[in-house]
């Protein structure tokens, strides 16, 4: 199983020096990848609750977020080996023709290290801010994926869809990875799971109990098989909110929280249901308040989890 780590991209720690320190330390330790998220703003009066928290309130850290693709491009220039992943980009926010160029450029300049996670987004306020319709975001996402793959395919490129059109043209910039960098989808409902099965290399997930995750991943693989795709090639990339403590927690603890041996046990359990990569994220941990805490968390988790993976 591959091991990834989130870059300090949000909140007070987000900045040039800290991103550099974490990216270089990830490469020194042996982590396989580093990752970013996509968050635009915190509305004063949100029209939809934040789905990743029990109370629906967005973390204060989201008041300051570095752009995901610019951050990965910066990291590409100061590293040589680690994968560069998004978990996730809200695909409907972006014009797919321009996004295809940006992602291909990232893959070219990094020497083929891009790993792309996509989602459809959930915040009506953010959709309004970027000038994109919220109600048809699923259909727009499906079409945008087709546009990306068309542009990354052979020239000449042409596309005639409901939302996007490309006149027959040569778009010579292609990713290093063929036919394209691996694409992962955040999927929590049947439509999104089917999108993953039909168009993705894998499933990107966070915040789901282990038994539910195993069931959903099995459904995605079954959908892939029905569509004529190889279900065994489907990957599962799991984002884990890491919180290492000196003492073990009880049975009601959150996944990847507790003593090191408990976190290692979670990793082994994920590997048992088919997870191929785990992204450790300490950006929202109450035990991480400084960049030294951040780096210590990386050091603390890498050796035992690498041995288990």
The partner residues of 165 in beta bridges, in order of sequence, read 160
Token duo for residue 241: 């909110």
Is the model's pLDDT at 239 over the cut of 90?
yes
| pLDDT at site 99 | 98
| pLDDT at site 174 | 98
Alpha-carbon distance of 196 to 181, in angstroms, equals 15
Task: Give per-residue pLDDT as tens, 171-201.
Answer: 999 999 999 999 999 999 999 999 999 999 9
> Rounded to two decimals, what is the model's pTM?
0.95
Task: Give per-residue pLDDT as tens, 204-223.
Answer: 988 888 899 999 999 999 99
| pLDDT at site 190 | 93
Buried b or exposed e, range 218-235, using 16+ CB within 10 angstroms: ebbbebbeeeebebeebb
Token duo for residue 247: 């003492």
User: What is the average pLDDT across 43-55?
Assistant: 92
Distant-in-sequence, close-in-space partners of 292: CB < 8 Å, separation ≥ 6 = none
Task: Give per-residue pLDDT as tens, 28-40.
Answer: 999 999 999 999 9
HEC string of 254-298?
Answer: CCCEECHHHHHHHHHHHHHCCCCEEEEECCCCCCCCCHHHHHHHH
Grade residue 146 by pLDDT with cuts at 50, 70 and 90: very high
Smallest Cα–Cα separation from 242: which of 208, 267, 210?
267
- Return the minimum-mean-pLDDT range out of 129-143, 154-168, 172-186, 231-245: 231-245
Alpha-carbon distance of 308 to 266, in angstroms, equals 10
Is the model's pLDDT at 251 over the cut of 90?
no
HEC string of 89-127?
Answer: EEHHHCCHHHHHHHHHHHHHHCCCCEEEEEECCCCHHHH
Contact predicate 161/177, CB 8 Å: no
Rounded-to-10 torsion of CA 275, 279, 115, 164? 90
User: What is the average pLDDT across 254-261?
Assistant: 88
HEC string of 180-209?
Answer: CCCEEEECCCHHHHHHHHHHCCEEEECCCC
Task: Give residue 280's region: left, alpha or beta (phi > 0; psi -120 to 50).
Answer: beta
Alpha-carbon distance of 294 to 24, in angstroms, equals 13
Alpha-carbon distance of 244 to 262, in angstroms, equals 9
The CATH code of domain 2-92+113-145+184-308 reads 3.20.20.30
Instruction: Please state, for a pLDDT cut of 90, what percent of the chain lies above it.
Output: 85
Task: Give per-residue pLDDT as tens, 52-100.
Answer: 888 999 999 999 999 999 999 999 999 999 999 999 999 999 999 999 9
């Amino acid at each position: 199983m591959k091991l990834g780590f989130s870059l300090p991209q949000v909140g007070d720690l987000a900045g040039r020096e800290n991103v550099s320190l974490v990216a270089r330390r990830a490469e020194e330790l042996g982590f396989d990848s580093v990752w970013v998220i996509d968050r635009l703003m915190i509305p004063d009066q949100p029209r939809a609750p934040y789905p990743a928290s029990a109370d629906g309130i967005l973390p204060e850290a989201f008041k300051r977020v570095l752009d995901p693709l610019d951050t990965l491009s910066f990291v590409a220039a100061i590293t040589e080996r680690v994968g560069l992943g998004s978990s996730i980009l809200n695909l409907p926010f972006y014009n797919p023709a321009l996004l295809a160029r940006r992602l291909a450029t990232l893959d070219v300049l990094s020497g083929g290290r891009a790993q792309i996670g996509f989602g459809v987004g959930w915040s009506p306020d953010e959709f309004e801010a970027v000038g994109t319709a919220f109600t048809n975001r699923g259909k727009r996402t499906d079409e945008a994926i087709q546009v990306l793959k068309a542009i990354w395919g052979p020239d000449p490129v042409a596309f005639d869809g409901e939302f996007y059109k490309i006149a027959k043209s040569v778009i010579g910039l292609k990713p290093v990875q063929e036919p394209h960098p691996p694409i992962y989808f955040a999927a929590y409902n049947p439509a999104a799971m089917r999108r993953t099965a039909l168009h993705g290399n894998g499933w990107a997930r966070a915040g789901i109990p282990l038994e539910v995750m195993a069931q959903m991943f099995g459904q995605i693989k079954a959908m892939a098989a029905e569509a004529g795709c190889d279900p065994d090639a489907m990957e599962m990339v799991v984002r884990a909110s890491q919180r290492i403590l000196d003492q073990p927690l009880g049975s009601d603890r959150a996944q990847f929280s507790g003593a090191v041996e408990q976190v290692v046990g979670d990793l082994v359990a994920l590997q048992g249901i088919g997870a191929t990569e785990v992204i450790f994220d300490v950006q929202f941990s109450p035990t991480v308040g400084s960049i030294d805490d951040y780096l210590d968390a990386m050091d603390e988790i890498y050796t035992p989890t690498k041995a288990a993976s």
